[in-house]
Amino acid sequence: MAQFLKLNQSLMISDNLKQVKSRIDSVQSRKKVELIAVSKTRSTKEIQEAVDAGQVHFGENYLQESIEKINFFKGSGLIWHFIGPIQSNKTSAIAGNFDWVHSVDRIKVATRLSDQRNPALGSLNVLIQVNVDREETKSGVDIENVGEIVSEIESLPNLSLRGFMTIPRPENSQNSFAEMKQLISKYPNLDSLSMGMSADLEIAIKNGANLVRVGTDIFGQRSYN
């Protein structure tokens, strides 16, 4: 029975990935859309099952947990995205272990990431988190202040500013995504929009998202026990 359950879970993750990728492929896009499997709280076994099904990009929120996973899979060619809030005392570990950071929301954090990135690792790809709905409870830069932080980050030597990330209010995602599409159009040198999750990835892609972040629809409901 245990062996059957193990096989069943593996097939579930593989099938779920196929379904999510089919949803992505169903939307016409001028850019290649990359699926980021949000693997926070997930075991290395679950991640390995996703890897066996062809998944390469993984997103993590919790630093200590993610470092253990990154070390476990070192040499596997996986691409790791930090997508959670950034505390200043965590920037060194983030700069040394991740390929992408989606949640840069202040120049102090960007400067520390640049200073602490080993040039031998190559430039760290970063996205500015935009608080598109101007919610007091969310991190991110207000749209009217984006221009200033863009120019400052572009001057940092060990970062490659690629674009923007946002988490809109679910009931306003259509308008928020359209606003982000308009924002990135003002910066032709930037090429990445990280937005869209399980419930709204099609709308996000229609508005220019080329990085979508999906967790539950790949791995199933989380267990916090």
The two tokens of residue 92 are: 């060194």
pLDDT in tens, 34-52: 999 999 999 999 999 999 9
Domain boundaries in the chain? Answer: 2-219
Q: What is the pLDDT of residue 5?
A: 39
Q: What is the pLDDT of residue 138?
A: 85
Per-residue pLDDT, 170: 87
Global pTM value: 0.93
Please report the pLDDT score of residue 89 as a whole number. Answer: 94
User: DSSP letters along the chain, please?
Assistant: -HHHHHHHHHHHHHHHHHHHHHHHHTS--SSPPEEEEE-TT--HHHHHHHHHTT--EEEE--HHHHHHHHHHTTTS--EEEE-S---GGGHHHHHHH-SEEEEE-SHHHHHHHHHHS-GGG-PEEEEEEB-TT--TTS-SB-GGGHHHHHHHHHT-TTEEEEEEE----GGGHHHHHHHHHHHHTT-TT--EEE---TTTHHHHHHTT--EEEESHHHH-S----
Residues of the chain with pLDDT under 50: 1-7, 225
The predicted structure's pLDDT at residue 134: 87
CATH no. for 2-219? 3.20.20.10
Please write the tens of the pLDDT for every residue from 107-134: 999 999 999 999 999 999 999 999 999 8
